[in-house]
Every structure is written in C-alpha cells, then in structure tokens.
Amino acid sequence: MIEWHKKYVDKVLKLWGMSNYQGMWISFIKGLIIGGLIVHYCF
C-alpha cells in the first residue's frame, strides 16, 4: 500500500510539473489551513 501511494504521488507531481520539494510545501500549507479551520470551528 505504501509503495502504491509513493508511485501515485510521484505520478501526480510529474503530471503537474512539480518537484517533491514543492509538493511538501503544499502539503505543509494545506495542513496549516485545515488545522486552523478545525481550531476555529471546534474551539
């Protein structure tokens, strides 16, 4: 399952023309946004 996910992520990043570094930054920012929304609406 993990190998499938790695291959899928690499395929999508290549399709969008992004590097792994850019993908990590997008994931980090997405996590901050989702975390902020959870804190805002739940607490």
Predicted confidence at residue 43, as pLDDT, reads: 87
3-state secondary structure at position 17: coil
Task: For residue 28, give both structure tokens.
Answer: 């980090």
1-43: pLDDT as tens digits: 999 999 999 999 999 999 999 999 999 999 999 999 999 999 8
Angle, CA of 39, 40 and 43, to the nearest 5°: 65
Task: For residue 8, give both structure tokens.
Answer: 């899928």
Contacts of 9 (CB under 8 A, 6+ apart): 23
Instruction: Give the H or E element holding residue 2.
Output: helix 2-16
